[in-house]
Chains A and B, each alone.
Chain A
Amino acid sequence: MPKPTSTPLISAVKLTCIREERLLFDELSLDIHPGDIVQVEGPNGSGKTSLLRILSGLSQPYDGIVNFKNQKINRCREEFQQNLLYLGHLAGVKGEMTAEENLKFNLALHGSCDNNSSVIDSATKNEQNTLAYLAKVNLSGFEDSLASHLSAGQHRRIALSRLYQSNAPIWILDEPFTAIDKQGVASLEALFTGHAQRGGCVILTTHQDLISINPDQIKKITLDYSYA
């Protein structure tokens, strides 16, 4: 395969990860370029989540470096985080707030509001946008329900609805399909393909195969560091 010439969005150099005195992976290096869809595979407890958290800067590796565009992520944290969308095991949805409030907060927290237009203008625009994003994940009609009244799958949908809006090129998703139905999975897969085509990259873990994405397009990383 021809090696892409662009600078990698994320590159990891010789990552070593130890959890509770167990070596999960050792000297793991990888480059992730624009357009890549990377699936991290491995049995439970093999360190998939740890790898994703290290790549997103949430955890520190025991040894090794993570670079964003050839710069250490610790050195360009703010820029890196503007370019990153990470969704972990936990949806980050507050039960005390409605679906719409949750999404609005998440969008605003990650800096996605249009300040160019006047305040009122952008407020109404945001309102319409939020509703539109919720509709995309099949949550129309639920926007005013408290999240505590919604199911686990719906929580995850609220979190995932950020993907439809996101401009961040790097998506790191830990088990995004958990509790999502078939239809939802298909539309997420379409979303990933589109994102990759626009020059973004997706790094995800999942136990199921990605069906509608061309297998040639998926890079696989297998973590299975069972050592005696």
Chain B
Amino acid sequence: MTLKAQSQQMTEQPIDKANTDRVKQLSYRRAFMLVLKRDLTIAMRHKDDIINPLLFFVIIITLFPLGIGPEAQTLSRIAPGIIWVAALLATLLSLDRLFKSDHLDGSLEQMLLSPHPIFVLVLAKIFAHWLITGLPLILIAPLLAVLLHLDENSYTALLLTLLLGTPVLSLLGAVGVALTVGIKKGGVLLSLLVLPLYIPVLIFATSAIDTAALGLPYSGQLAIIAALFFGSLTLAPFAVGAAIKVSTN
């Protein structure tokens, strides 16, 4: 290895200082909004990304009465579990997109190289993902609850658990995607990594809905899901950031 040192020293204007000062002014909030806006724009121009997981969610739920039988009593007893398991699977299906295309076209490494801390950018992407996939699930869930004869007392509980629980799914799922984004056949692996982590949300959410059906207070379960939400909100972005650094290596 040889290094032919041949260089001309011509320093006309120092160009590093002015740049540094400018960047400092770009705050976390602006970086967050920038990435959020970009991801939403892309999603809006690619509407199947929003619609397909939703269709998947609806189809899975219609399969259950066909497989189990149409008795209203049976269906209403297992409705919370079915809706939540279907929500887990629909989220899982949509996760792949969170980082995949950005990884393939090189945007992800540009984000890593930007002066902003990666966890802010990642959080924005996860929030966008939730707006695109989690929110529509919540909106369509009451309709599916009707199909499954969910107990009338449970509707509020269903919506509240989905509202608090789906962000946890997006946050934990993001860790799994970030770890598998560089792998060629990461899809199946992703479910193996992510689904066990979803178990607590599933347990407490379905239990809250069951409890509500009995007319009992379910604020305890909600509080635990809220705790899971805040826990994953604080920790997941850092894990995702670290995982992306490994994946783009």
Contact = CB atoms under 8 A, between A and B. Distances in A.
Contacts of A188: none
A34 B7 CA distance: 9
Nearest to B107: A92
Interface string A13-24: 000000000000
A30 B19 CA distance: 26
Contacts of A91: 105-106
- Tell me if A's interface is mostly helix, strand, loop or mixed: loop
Contacts of B42: 94, 96-97
B14 to A, nearest CB: 6
B110 A216 contact: no
Nearest to A25: B1
Given A109-B114, A115-B25, A96 B46 contact: yes
Contacts of A167: 15-16, 18-19, 22
B101 to A, nearest CB: 8
A33 B104 CA distance: 33
Interface string A74-98: 0000110111101011111111110
Given A34-B9, A198-B13, A58 B248 contact: yes
Contacts of B7: 1, 4, 33, 35-37, 217, 219
Interface in A161-189: 167-169
Contact of B249 (A60, A78, A197, A221): A60
Contacts of B10: 35, 196-199
Which size class do A's interface residues fall under?
A: 35 or more
Given A60-B249, A86-B113, A96-B46, A30 B3 contact: yes
B235 interface: no
A141 interface: no
Contacts of A151: none
B1 A222 contact: yes
Contacts of B15: 167-169, 198-200
Nearest to B44: A96
Contact of B19 (A35, A36, A89, A168): A168
B17 to A, nearest CB: 9
Contacts of A37: 7
A97 B13 CA distance: 35
A130 to B, nearest CB: 15
A38 B23 CA distance: 27
28 contacts: A34-B11, A35-B7, A58-B112, A58-B249, A59-B249, A81-B113, A82-B19, A90-B105, A90-B109, A92-B109, A93-B107, A94-B42, A94-B105, A95-B105, A96-B41, A105-B38, A109-B110, A109-B111, A109-B114, A110-B110, A110-B114, A113-B22, A167-B16, A168-B16, A197-B8, A198-B12, A198-B15, A199-B12
Nearest 10 CB-CB pairs, A to B?
A: A90-B106, A111-B23, A167-B19, A92-B106, A199-B11, A96-B42, A92-B110, A96-B45, A115-B25, A82-B115
Given A93-B106, A219-B7, 13 more contacts: A25-B1, A53-B249, A60-B249, A82-B115, A88-B109, A93-B105, A105-B34, A109-B114, A110-B115, A198-B15, A199-B11, A221-B2, A221-B3
